[in-house]
A and B are shown apart, each in its own frame.
Chain A
Amino acid sequence: MMKTNVILVAIPDSECISERLDLRVLITRALKIEARMEKGVNLEDEQRRYQIICDRMEYLGNLISGTKKVEFVNLGENYLELLMLMKKKFPEETKRARVMSNFCPAALVEKHIALFESLARQASLLELEEIKKKIEFYRAAAKQKCHVLELQELVADEETSNSVSFENLKEKFLSLPVNDGITSTLDTNSFMALRSQMNRVIDEVNKGVQTGVNFSDLSHNVITEMLHEFVFGAGKPMYLPVVYADGTKARPFPIHCLKPPEKGKVINLPGPVINVGQLSGRHQEMDPKMNIYFFRNQEISTGKTAAEIDSVSYLEAKKIFERLRKEGVYRIAYYQTGFQPAVVGFYRALTEELLLKGKKAPALEVTPYYFFGHYEKGKTWI
């Protein structure tokens, strides 16, 4: 099995140039790309550029460390595993501290190692040899005003052990919870079919079976009405796994988590109803009726996977709801036109927004209107 050694190389300004490549220029470019990647604009192009620049830096690092007299230290095969552990425990902080980065400009060495040390302490990794070595090396590099490159080398680990017998393993594998039942093929309407699919998935989740509700290819009114039923329905609060027909897996959907208004009790929020279309630029015949559109088509229809569209819609909707919350009470007539991942993303964000209100008086009301050439009113979310 191949394992990975991570080697730190400290490069002073005087040794930065080799084969017409200047490490400082590459570092400056890479930092600029990192800043652009943060914004998420043209991400794939930026990632491609970043890959090229990093590749050049590693090439240069190998060249300089092989031909010039520079300080280096081998952190061994376990270092990368420790970084993964750190990332698992503190994903956001690890990203902010650029722990997974392969370079550090001289000007940032001190700041980087301080952040790294604090993270290592929080993750209880500070006492490990690899971590100590890195901190020590970076401190020395800071004193010498060196840039640091973190290079990798794949090494063959010739001791591969297999201790579990194949039959034991197979037995355990076959006992993993996977549905061994079959579905009724009796014809039902779409609402009943989705209800039964969601109930089956709940059952499977409770048994620990890897599963998911597939919302693709279903009519948007069916999805919305069934989500309403399960979000406001009685049962153990839980997260429902979501998959799409392109196979991608989205964030799970919270269900059994909101209380419906008491029977017979009508909640009348103050203020006018605003007509909000789901997605701009898709059905121009709706334009005269709409006050505004919720999502901009350009932002949502990114041409990526369904799960990514779901995620973009969800995050965008969360942002909008947060803004509305600060502004006061809103009554929205939400004119829907389909596009399943955007629908699921929107209602996930809405559910979470409604959950936030807790026992406070409602401040947001969303009534879906389904567009089928004409409009059909759905159940109100409040």
Chain B
Amino acid sequence: MPTTEQLLKGVDLFEQHVKAYDEEFRKRNKLPKNFDYRPYRWCSRDIVFSLLVVKHNRKGNYLEVDVCLISKPPQYVENSGARVALGFLLSESYKCGGSMEIVFTPNVEGGRVPAYICDLAIEMGIKLNYVPKGHISPFEARQLYLELAGFSKEAKERIMKLALEGTISPERICFLIMGGIWTLPEAESMILGSQHPERLLQSTSEPDERHLYLNDLMVASATILGGVLDRKLLKTELFEGGQIVESEDEESPLSIDFDQAYFAKIYRSETDLIIPWIDENKILTSGQQMVVLVRARSDSEIQKYFPKDMSSLKKLIAKYQNDTQTMIFYLIPRDFEDVSLATQSQIIAQLKKVGVYLMISPDNMASLNKEAIRRLETGRRTRQ
């Protein structure tokens, strides 16, 4: 743990950097380059998690950290400040195109790797070999990044296989999540649910190669459809000043798993949750499980492929039937409303017969595809 003196010195230095930054960039309406010192304050509401000042060291091709102050707010999970700080440092290091080595200057706890980051590394079971010298090597950075991203064991397995095949680096996958292009559950859906996640995650297919591009687009749209449901379920509302507001950083205590065999999402909640987008009032009670077969289909595809989806649903029911608490859902986009009324009734009746709830997302295929194209395009401009 840093000493009080180190903390105070760190805060002073941070303020100096902020002043210098204001003078050099903000007041001149200029943007800093990667190799300029940039101060960052990581907060949520009125809680500061970390104060950081970083730059890309051009000569050494590493990320140089001049201020790294980390807090341990008791309201949050263990080492949350270190998680925030390390997540940013690793992502910034990747973004700057450096070697992934991180170097702490003597201004950071006398030039060592900060104690809270060491605690976090211990928690994650990763050995840091250059703590007194203040360096995190690219090898250590790779392991820290992969652990920090929070993948399930199955997804980690697939990522490691992809890295061994040399098709995509784990750092890129982690960056796509930490950089907010894909959420963790979305990335898991692609990694486990697609034959070629490396193509999707690197956005390598071009629109003129229609077969490959369409294939990626279809998986990406299904992933986004599942992601929309994740966000809907995770969203919590708070009562503040007599008004209901959406919470900025608090989410429902929901675990999200993925059944890769069926491209289905599995949700378990620790509190009661209202299940959205279905025709009746249903609640996912604490400890209960819901399995959602995600199918991003247009109206013509819904009609054409419903028998196949029905067959998958029956298998899903058989797979999860031991657990009577499990509810099964069939999630499709709003394009369902464009299907003829007679077909709609037939589909609803068949689903009812096997005890599956029809879940219609407010998004349609056009908006899902649009979002998929945007994400693929953003991913393309990310470091390889």
Contacts and interface: CB of A to CB of B under 8 A. Distances in A.
Nearest to B373: A51
Contacts of B56: 217, 245
A247 B95 contact: yes
A193 interface: yes
Interface in B43-94: 56, 58-62, 94
B6 interface: no
Contacts of B129: 180
B157 A152 contact: no
Nearest to A62: B300
Interface in B101-130: 101, 103, 129-130
B138 A246 contact: no
Contact of A2 (B97, B139, B142, B263): B263
A176 interface: yes
Contact of B97 (A6, A54, A210, A245): A245
B211 interface: yes
B305 A153 contact: yes
Contacts of A173: 160, 163-164
Given A83-B211, A150-B211, A248-B384, A216 B34 contact: yes
A131 to B, nearest CB: 15
A182 B133 contact: yes
Contacts of B143: 174
A41 B189 CA distance: 36
B194 interface: yes
B62 A183 contact: yes
Contact of A180 (B33, B138, B312): B138
B138 A100 contact: no
Nearest to A55: B369
B353 interface: no
A337 interface: no
Contacts of A156: 261-263, 312
Interface string A97-133: 0001110000000000000000000000000000000
Contacts of B298: 59, 62
B290 interface: no
Contacts of A305: 381
B58 A217 contact: yes
A50 B193 contact: no
B218 interface: yes
Given A183-B60, A183-B99, A193-B59, A152 B211 contact: yes
B160 A54 contact: no
A256 interface: no
A54 B218 CA distance: 13
B326 interface: no
B213 to A, nearest CB: 8
Interface string A248-263: 1100000000000000
A278 interface: no
Contacts, number: 196
A152 B98 contact: no
A87 B204 CA distance: 13
B58 A50 contact: no
A101 B139 contact: no
A247 B298 CA distance: 36
Contacts of A92: none
B215 A216 contact: no
A3 interface: yes
Contact of B383 (A2, A102, A178, A247): A247
Contacts of B96: 214, 245, 247
Nearest to A208: B166
Contacts of A87: 209
Contacts of B384: 243, 247-249
Given A47-B206, A83-B211, A152-B218, A193 B60 contact: yes
A338 to B, nearest CB: 13
B212 interface: yes
A63 interface: yes
Residue in B207, B213, B308 whose Cβ sees the most chain A Cβ within 10 Å: B207
A184 B60 CA distance: 8
A305 B381 CA distance: 7
A102 B263 contact: no
B288 interface: no
Interface in B253-278: 260-263
Nearest to B103: A185
B211 A102 contact: yes
B360 to A, nearest CB: 19
16 contacts: A2-B193, A80-B211, A100-B210, A156-B263, A164-B157, A166-B156, A173-B160, A179-B137, A179-B138, A180-B137, A183-B60, A185-B60, A187-B59, A214-B61, A217-B35, A246-B383
Going nearest first, the 6 A-B pairs with the smallest beta carbon separation are A247-B383, A193-B59, A180-B139, A100-B209, A173-B160, A47-B207
